Structure 1
Amino acid sequence: MNKKYILETINSASQLITKMRKVEIIKSDDEIRLVNDLSDVLLNLTSPLTVTVIGPFNSGKSTFINAMIEERILPENINPSTSMVCKIGYCNSHLKIQYIEKGNILVKEISIKELKEFVDRNSSNYIPRTGDVLEIFHNNIFCEKDIVIVDTPGFNDPYMDDEETNNALKKADAVIYCMHISQANSRLDAEKIEYLQKNGITSIFFAIGFSDLLQNVDEEECDTLKFRLRKELSSKSILHEDGVFFVSAAEELNRIEQKKTVLNDAGFDNVRKKIWEFLQTNRIPIKNEIACNKIGKVREELERFIREKIEALQNSQHICLQKKKQLRNKETETKACIAEITQICSLYEEDAYKFIKIQIETEILSVDSKIEEWVDEVFTPNFSMFTLGLKDNATKTIETIQRKCTERINAALEGRIVPYLNSASDKLQKEIKHTVEKYIINIELGTNCKINLPALRLEMEEHYNALFPEITPFSIAATMVMMERNMIPLIGMTFAPLIGIIIAILGLGFFQYNQKKKRIISSIREHLHSYEFSSKCTQAIKDNIHWKEDVRPSVSNLEGMIERCIEEQKKITNRQNGIETKMQEINNLNKEMVLVFDKINT
C-alpha cells in the first residue's frame, strides 16, 4: 500500500509540476529537473538496494568492501587510490565491468589487474576517467539478492573534491561510514553524518577500521575507547549500538586468504551478516522511506517556488498600489495646479481692469478740466464768424482738442497704464512659473511645463481717434435761430441808429462765438464723460490682455498629463486584476499540492 501511494504521488506531482510551469511558478529547466528527480524516485523503487560506502580518504573503504565481497578486487593503498565511483553488483561470472568510452557503453570481462587501470590512480597504466561511474559485476554472496555496493573517493582527497561522493549519496538507500580508529568521529565525520541525516538517509552503519591496532593497547583503555565511540555513534545508527562495528578488514581478508581467523570479536562474518540481514529484512521500508524523503525534497522545492512567487506577486501588488496612489496624487495636484493658474490669471485681469478703469476715469476728469482752456487757446473769433457765420475755425478747434485729448490719454497710457500692465505681466509670469515649479516638485511633472507670458505692448491711439465723431460748424439757419432767441440784439437792430446796428452785430457775433464755444465744450465733454467712451477705452485696453491665452499651452500640457495619469491608472488596475487572478491560480495549485503530498504523509 505504501508503494501504491508513492506511485500515485509521483504521478500526481509530475502533473502538478507541469501546471506550475504553465502558470510560470517554475521555469522549464526546473520542471525538467524536478520531473527527473521524481522519475529517479520511481526508478529507485524497482532498482537494487544501494549501499554506499563513504568516509575520509585512507579510512579503509575499499578494503572494507573487499572484505564484504570476500575478495580483493578493488585497489588498496595507504595513499588515496580510488579515483572514481565504483558500483559493485552481482553476476554469475567472476568479474566484468560496464563503462563508457567515447560515448559508447561497453561491457567486457576483466581481470583484477586490469581493473586497477580503471580505478587506481597509483597504477602505472591508469587512465583518468573523472566523472564516470564504473559498474563492476562480481560473483559474491552479499550482492546476490539485489544489493549494490558503491565505493567512493574519500572526503578531503588531495586529488579531487567531494562532488562525486555527494552525487553518489543522492542515490544511496543505506550508508556504511568508514573511520580510522585513530581519528574516529572527528569534526569532519560529524559534519558528514549531519549531512546524511539532513538528506533523509537514516539507514547508517559505522565501520571503525584498523581495529587490529588496538591489539597492543591496554585492554581497559581499549574498552574505554570502544565504549565512548559506541555511545557517541549509536544514536546516529539505524541499529544503535549494534550498528557500530570495530573491524579490521585487512585481517579479515588475510583470514579469507589463509583460511584462518585472526580477530577475536566474532570476526568480520558477524558484521557482514548483521548488515546483510538488516538490508534484506527492511528492503521495502528502506526504499519507501528514501522515496518519501526524496519526494519530500521535491515538495519543499515546490513550496519554496510557490512562496517566492506569491511574495513576488504581493510585492508587485504593493508596487501597483503605491504607483496608483502616486498617480492619483499627481492627478489631484495637477488639477489643483491648473485651477490655481486659472485663478491667478483671473485675479490679475480683474485687478488690471479695475486699475485701467480708475486711470481712465481719472484721466477723463483731468482732461475735462483742460477743455475750456484748450478751446480758448485754439478757438479765436474772426470777422467772417461775426458777420456771415459761413467760415469759422470750429472744425479745426474740435480736431485740435480731439488730438490734445488723445495725446493726453495716450500719454497716460504710456506713462502709467502700459508700464503697470507690463509690470503685472512680468509678476504674473513669475508667479505662475513659481506655481508650476511648486507642483512639479509635488507631482514630478518634469521640466516640460513652462509658462511664457510676453510683455504687454499697447498701441491705443487709433482706438481713441475713433471715439471722437467729427462735429460740423453751425449753419446759417442755426445762426438765425440763435438770433431770434436773443431779443436785445433784435431790438438794437430795429430801433438803434447805425452805430447801434454795428454794436448789435458785434454783440450778436460775440453771442454766437460764446454759444459755439459752449457747444464745442459741451459736445467734447458729453463724449468724454459718456459711458460708451469710458467702456470703449477700458475694453480697448482689456482686449490687448491675453494672459489666459498665453498660459493655455502649458495648461494643455498639464491636462495631457492628467489624461496620461488616468490611462496609466487603468493599466495598473488591469495589471492588479491579472495579479489577483494569478494569485488565485497559485493558491488553488497550493491546495492541490497539499492534497497530492499528504497521501504519503498519512
Structure 2
Amino acid sequence: MVLKLEYGVKKDLLIRYLEEIKTLSEDLSKDINDDVDYEIQKLAQNQFNIAVVGQFKRGKSTFINAMLKDRIVPMAIIPLTSIVTIIKYGKQFKITVVFNDETQKEIPHHMLEEYATERGNPKNEKGVKHISIEYPSDFLKKGITLIDTPGVGSVFQHNTDITYNFLPKLDAAIFLFTIDSPVAQSELDFLKDVSKRAVKIFFLLNKTDYAEKNDIKEALDFTKRILLENLETPNIKIYSISAKIALEAGLENHKSKWENSGFPEFIADLEEFISSEKGNALLTSVCKSALGLISQLKFTAELELKAVTTPLDELNEKISSLKKEFQKIEEEERDILHVFDGETKEILGKLQYDYENFKTNNYKILETDLEQQFKENINLPTKEFIENTRNYITDETLNLIDSWRKKELKELTEASEKITGKLSQKIESIISELQHLTADIFDIKFEGFLRIKGFKQAGYFYYNMEPEKSFLMPNPLSVARFLPQSMAKKVVKNHLRQWLQQQFDRQCGRVRYDISQRMNLTFNNYADYLKNIIRETKENILKSLEKAAEIMKHGESSTEEKVKKLKNIIMEIKKLEKNINQIMLQI
C-alpha cells in the first residue's frame, strides 16, 4: 500500500529533489541551474504562474487590466507589449525593471511604457530581462502571478521569441482569441506548444462587444470545432468576454457593465480552479519541468560514461567518425538553408511583381477619379477647391494603398508560414539526427529533450502607416492668386496632378520598402537562430567526448575515478527520476 502524501510533504520533497538535480548538474551541465532555481522559487513561494497568451492584438494587456480593475500595463491599438511583465501581490504598487545583467531599477508607473513596449523600447535595446510589478490585489494575494506576454506572430519577431522562451515557466494559461478574426494555423501551432507545458488552459473569445449575439455564437462554435480537431482535449469550454467593457466596469464600479462583460462566469471558474486545483497543478507543472531537466542530465552522464569506458584509440576513432557524420549533416544543413534562401527570394520577388502591377493598374484609377473630382468641385473658390482636392487625394491614396497592403500581407504571410514551417521541421530533424547518431555510436539510450524555442513562424508582418495630411508640395495659391480665375484653376489642377503622382509613388514605395525590409530581417534572423541551435548541439556533444578523452590521457586511476563518479551520478539521476514520477502518480 502506497501512503498518500499531503500537499506540503510533496512540495518539500520536490524542492529537495530539485536541489539534488542542481548538485548533480555541477559536474555535467551548469546551464540548467537557472531553470532549477526558478522551479524551486516557484514552489517555495507557492507561486502559480498564469500566463495570458495569444496572437498579437488579441487584447491581452486590456484583459490583465480588467482582471485587476485598474490600468496597470500599457494598452494600444498597434502590437505593443515587447517584454514579459510579471505581476504579483504586494502591499504597495511597485514596478521594478530587471535587466539582462541582473541589475534592477525601480521606476514610476508613468515610465513603464518606456521599458515594456515596442514603442518605448524597440527590439529591447535597453536590455530588459523582465519587468516585475507588485500590486495590492485580492486575486493575486491567493498566490497567483499573472504574466503579460508579448503577442506571437507580429512583425517584431524578438517578441515571439521572448514568449516562446517563457513557455517552460508557465503553469496555467489564459489563451485569448478574438471575434474579429478567425483562428490562424500559426495560432494553433503556438497553442500546441502551450498545451505541452500548461496543466490548465482557459480559452476566451474576446472583443464580443463588437458583434451581435448570432455572430458570437457562430464564432464560439467555429473556434470550439477547430480546437477539438487540433487538440487532444475532449472537453473544451470557451468563455465569451469583452475585456474592454470589463475594464470600464472595474474602473467605474459599474455592476451591470461587469455582468454584461462576460467576466463573472470566467472569474468564478478560475477561482474554483485556484482554490481546489492550484496546488496539484503547481506540483504537476514543476514535476514536468524537473523530468525534462533530468533527461538532459542523464543523456550527458551516460554519454560521458560510455566515452571514458571506451579504449582511448577506439574513442578517438568514434569521435572522428562522429565528426565525419556531423560534416555530412552540415552539407544537409547547407542544402536546406540554400533551398530556404531561394524560397525567400521567390516571396520577395512576388512582392516586387505585385507592387509593380498595383502601381500600374491603380494609378490610372486615381487619375480618372481625380479628374471627376475636379469637375464636381470646379465652381468652388480656389482656396476651398485646393483644400478639398488635397484631402481627397490624401484619403483616396492611403485607402487604396492600405487595401492593397492588407491583401498583400495576407498572401505573403501564408507563403512565409509554409516555408518557415518546413524549415523548422527539417532543422528539428537534423538536431534529432545529431543526437541519435551520438546515441547509436556510443550505444546509449536516447530520449529527446532538445526542442527549438521561439521563431516558430516568420509571418504576420505589420506596417503602421500613419496618414500624412500635410505632404510637402508647392503651394498653388502662391502662384494662382496673381492669375485670373480661369487660369488659376488650370495652374492649380496641374500642381495637384503632379502632387498625386508624387504622393502615390512615395506612399507605395514606403509600404513596399517596409515590408521587404521586415521580411528580409525576419528570414535572416530565423535562419541564423536555427544554425546556432545546430552548432550548439554539436559543440555540447563533442565537448563531453573530448573531456572524456582528456581524462583518459591522465591514466587509469583518473579514468576509474571518473567512471565511479559517473555511475553514482547516473544512479542518483535514475533514483530522482523514479521519485519524481512517484510524486506525479500521487497528484
TM-score normalised per structure 1:
0.49
When residues 235 and 263 of structure 1 are mapped into structure 2, their CA distance, relative to the original with a 3 A threshold, is: farther
Residue in structure 1 matching 2:222, options 205, 221, 225:
225
Partner of 1:85: 84
d(CA) in 1 for partners of 2:140, 2:126? 25
When residues 260 and 189 of structure 1 are mapped into structure 2, their CA distance, relative to the original with a 3 A threshold, is: same
Contact in 1 for aligned 2:246/2:261 (Cα 8 Å): no
1:81 CA displacement: 1.3
d(CA) in 1 for partners of 2:83, 2:161? 11
1:179 CA displacement: 2.0
Partner of 1:279: 274
| Residue aligned with 2:128, SS | coil
Structure 2, unaligned runs of 5 or more: 1-8, 319-551, 583-587
Partner of 2:249: 255
Amino acid aligned to 1:3: K
Partner of 1:595: 575
Aligned pairs (5 A) from 1:403-482: none
1:159 CA displacement: 2.9
d(CA) in 2 for partners of 1:219, 1:104? 47
Partner of 1:191: 189
d(CA) in 2 for partners of 1:127, 1:201? 27
Partner of 2:292: 297
Partner of 2:546: none
d(CA) in 2 for partners of 1:312, 1:277? 52
Partner of 2:53: 54
Q: Deviations over 1:269-308 (max 9, x none)?
A: 2212222331232232122112211211111011110232
When residues 205 and 289 of structure 1 are mapped into structure 2, their CA distance, relative to the original with a 3 A threshold, is: same
d(CA) in 2 for partners of 1:585, 1:191? 42
Whether 2:63 is the aligned partner of 1:69: answer no
Q: Deviations over 1:171-220 (max 9, x none)?
A: 2222212222344542212221222344x332222222222344164576
Q: Deviations over 1:233-258 (max 9, x none)?
A: 77549xx434x322221122233345
d(CA) in 1 for partners of 2:213, 2:315? 77
When residues 592 and 118 of structure 1 are mapped into structure 2, their CA distance, relative to the original with a 3 A threshold, is: closer
When residues 599 and 157 of structure 1 are mapped into structure 2, their CA distance, relative to the original with a 3 A threshold, is: same
Q: Across the two proteins, how many residue pairs are aligned to each other? A: 337
Contact in 2 for aligned 1:58/1:80 (Cα 8 Å): yes
| Residue aligned with 2:245, SS | helix
Contact in 2 for aligned 1:50/1:147 (Cα 8 Å): yes
When residues 72 and 216 of structure 1 are mapped into structure 2, their CA distance, relative to the original with a 3 A threshold, is: same
Q: Deviations over 1:426-471 (max 9, x none)?
A: xxxxxxxxxxxxxxxxxxxxxxxxxxxxxxxxxxxxxxxxxxxxxx
| Residue aligned with 2:169, SS | coil
d(CA) in 2 for partners of 1:88, 1:583? 47
d(CA) in 1 for partners of 2:41, 2:246? 35
| Residue aligned with 2:49, SS | strand
Partner of 2:135: 138
1:77 CA displacement: 1.8
Q: Deviations over 1:13-51 (max 9, x none)?
A: 334334xx2xxxx3xxx23x2333322221110222221
Amino acid aligned to 2:14: I
Residue in structure 2 matching 1:205, options 189, 202, 206:
202
Q: CA RMSD in A?
A: 3.8
Amino acid aligned to 2:574: V
d(CA) in 1 for partners of 2:310, 2:35? 31
Amino acid aligned to 2:116: V
d(CA) in 2 for partners of 1:126, 1:318? 50
When residues 260 and 591 of structure 1 are mapped into structure 2, their CA distance, relative to the original with a 3 A threshold, is: closer
| Residue aligned with 1:136, SS | strand
Contact in 1 for aligned 2:258/2:264 (Cα 8 Å): no
d(CA) in 2 for partners of 1:322, 1:250? 65
Partner of 1:36: 34
1:230 CA displacement: 6.1
Amino acid aligned to 1:9: Y
d(CA) in 2 for partners of 1:152, 1:175? 11
Partner of 1:426: none
Contact in 2 for aligned 1:99/1:133 (Cα 8 Å): yes
Partner of 1:148: 145
d(CA) in 2 for partners of 1:322, 1:126? 46
Residue in structure 2 matching 1:5, options 9, 13, 23:
13
Amino acid aligned to 2:581: N
When residues 222 and 592 of structure 1 are mapped into structure 2, their CA distance, relative to the original with a 3 A threshold, is: closer
1:4 CA displacement: 3.1
Contact in 1 for aligned 2:97/2:106 (Cα 8 Å): yes
When residues 221 and 192 of structure 1 are mapped into structure 2, their CA distance, relative to the original with a 3 A threshold, is: closer
| Residue aligned with 1:194, SS | helix
| Residue aligned with 1:286, SS | helix
Contact in 1 for aligned 2:115/2:128 (Cα 8 Å): no
Amino acid aligned to 1:51: I
Greater C-alpha Rg: 1
When residues 262 and 601 of structure 1 are mapped into structure 2, their CA distance, relative to the original with a 3 A threshold, is: same
d(CA) in 2 for partners of 1:77, 1:321? 59
1:10 CA displacement: 2.3
Amino acid aligned to 2:295: E
Residue in structure 2 matching 1:267, options 262, 268, 271:
262
Contact in 2 for aligned 1:53/1:149 (Cα 8 Å): yes
d(CA) in 1 for partners of 2:285, 2:120? 37
Q: Deviations over 1:503-562 (max 9, x none)?
A: xxxxxxxxxxxxxxxxxxxxxxxxxxxxxxxxxxxxxxxxxxxxxxxxxxxxxxxxxxxx
Contact in 2 for aligned 1:50/1:148 (Cα 8 Å): yes
Identify the range of structure 1 (308-317 vs 590-599) with the bigger mean alpha-carbon deviation. Answer: 308-317
Partner of 2:373: none
Amino acid aligned to 2:577: F
When residues 17 and 135 of structure 1 are mapped into structure 2, their CA distance, relative to the original with a 3 A threshold, is: closer
Contact in 1 for aligned 2:206/2:243 (Cα 8 Å): yes
Give aligned-pair identity as a percent.
22
Amino acid aligned to 2:50: V
Contact in 1 for aligned 2:91/2:136 (Cα 8 Å): yes
d(CA) in 1 for partners of 2:287, 2:232? 22
Partner of 1:307: 302
Contact in 2 for aligned 1:9/1:597 (Cα 8 Å): no
d(CA) in 2 for partners of 1:293, 1:125? 34
1:575 CA displacement: 6.8
Contact in 2 for aligned 1:50/1:171 (Cα 8 Å): yes
| Residue aligned with 1:178, SS | strand
